[in-house]
Amino acid sequence: MNWLLKNWYKWLSILLLLYVIAFGMLVPLRPGIMKTDTFRLDLGTEAEIHIQFYNTHLRKSDDHRIWIRVDNDHAIKAKSFAVLNDVELKAVFELPSELPIDERVAMASLLADNSVDGPMVLPAAFSLVGENAGPGEISLWLENPVSDLNMRWTYAYPWRNILEETIRNTYYHVPMWFGMMLLFLISAIYSIRLIRSDNQDYDSRVFSLNLVGTLYGLLGILTGAIWARYTWGAYWSGDIKQDMAAITLLIFLAYFLLRSAMDPGPKRSRVTAIYTLFAFAASIPLLYIIPRMQPSLHPGSGGNPGFGGDDLDNTMKTVFYPAVIGWTLFGYWLSNIVFRLNRLGRKTEEKIFT
């Protein structure tokens, strides 16, 4: 019992990570619209559109409603449709000859709704092009407004168009960065304690926490690169947060260089602890201030919605926060092993060489 209590954070991290991996991988995505076969729609024609869905059960329901929506008030409802299978559908729209807004070209989204799958949307799905488009006969656009959607809560992760299933990486890639920063924070605290007391055990703490923090940072970069490859298009997208994260890693890699360039002893532990504090302070503007000044593909900076708004809904929070705590505790466990080994090595050397 005592043993169980003493190792509480290890059990907790294992339980949390099991929960995170199981729920993170098994909870389904909400149904969504994947793609259509047409992008350009000419006004005044009849358009037959082949729509591909994801995670839907189209054959289970017969109350499908499909709209092409220009803005909140103006939409065209599909005249007829044919369900091909559970995830495919053909819809026929009769397009009015004029746009409801004073433009020659308008972006429109595709909206679908049924009682089994709920409402689904594909933003910026079409570009509507008209010969003599302009303000005019808009009653056709108002006839069948988007209404009575089958909104309801389901235990599922949100559907995002380019992300698709990779939204689950929020539980594996993002906590690497949170874990890294938390480990570096603990390491900074131990650095302060070291420069105040010169206790050599704190040096082993700082070293081990920096080591595991750097490992987390490397894993964060690698997982981020593969995520970026299949969502943004390239392993390295020149994104400001990617660049700043790489620089943060360089700063902490320099810690190990500094450490290896000095002889072991109280002087080294003091100097490297001071550098750790300096590096930690320098990484704050790199990770939190500068990325906010420039547009980024990451959420939470530039023109993007903040992390926690649309990108992290309440369902995802139930897994994301445990993931951050679990990965951090696991990292602390790893660092604890490194700490004990490092401490043992120092004691052994003292015993052998003196």
The three-state secondary structure class of 299 is coil
Per the CB < 8 A criterion, the answer to whether 213 and 180 are in contact is yes
Residue ranges binding another protein (CB under 8 A): 21, 25, 29, 54-55, 163-166, 168-169, 172-173, 176, 195, 215, 218-219, 222-223, 226-227, 229-231, 247-248, 250-251, 254, 257-258, 261-262, 267-268, 270-271, 274-275, 277-279, 281-282, 284-286, 289-290, 293, 334, 337-338, 341, 344-345, 348-349, 351-352
* For another protein, the closer CB: 29 or 138: 29
Torsion of CA 25, 28, 32, 38, to 10 degrees: 50
Q: What whole-number distance in Å separates Cα of residue 9 and Cα of residue 325?
A: 10
Return the number of other C-beta atoms located less than 10 Å from residue 212's C-beta.
Answer: 25
Q: Which of 331, 336, 326 is nearest to 214 (CA)?
A: 331
* For another protein, the closer CB: 138 or 192: 192
- Smallest distance from the beta carbon of 299 to another protein, in angstroms? 17
* For another protein, the closer CB: 256 or 307: 256
Question: Strand 120-129's sheet: what is its strand order?
Answer: 40-42, 120-129, 105-113, 65-69, 75-77
- Smallest distance from the beta carbon of 352 to another protein, in angstroms? 6
Whose tokens are 């303000």? That residue is 135
Return the number of other C-beta atoms located less than 10 Å from residue 110's C-beta.
Answer: 22
- Smallest distance from the beta carbon of 143 to another protein, in angstroms? 35
- Smallest distance from the beta carbon of 225 to another protein, in angstroms? 9
Q: What whole-number distance in Å separates Cα of residue 191 and Cα of residue 249?
A: 18
DSSP code at position 93: E
- Smallest distance from the beta carbon of 222 to another protein, in angstroms? 5
Q: Which of 194, 190, 193 is nearest to 332 (CA)?
A: 190
Q: What whole-number distance in Å separates Cα of residue 204 and Cα of residue 190?
A: 10
Give the relative orientation of helices 200-231 and 314-353 as an angle to the nearest 10 degrees. 140
- Smallest distance from the beta carbon of 344 to another protein, in angstroms? 6
- Smallest distance from the beta carbon of 168 to another protein, in angstroms? 5
Per the CB < 8 A criterion, the answer to whether 157 and 26 are in contact is no
- Smallest distance from the beta carbon of 124 to another protein, in angstroms? 20
* For another protein, the closer CB: 97 or 315: 315
DSSP code at position 292: H
Beta bridge partners of residue 127, listed in sequence order: 40, 107
Backbone angles phi and psi of 40, in degrees to 5: -90, 125
- Smallest distance from the beta carbon of 148 to another protein, in angstroms? 29
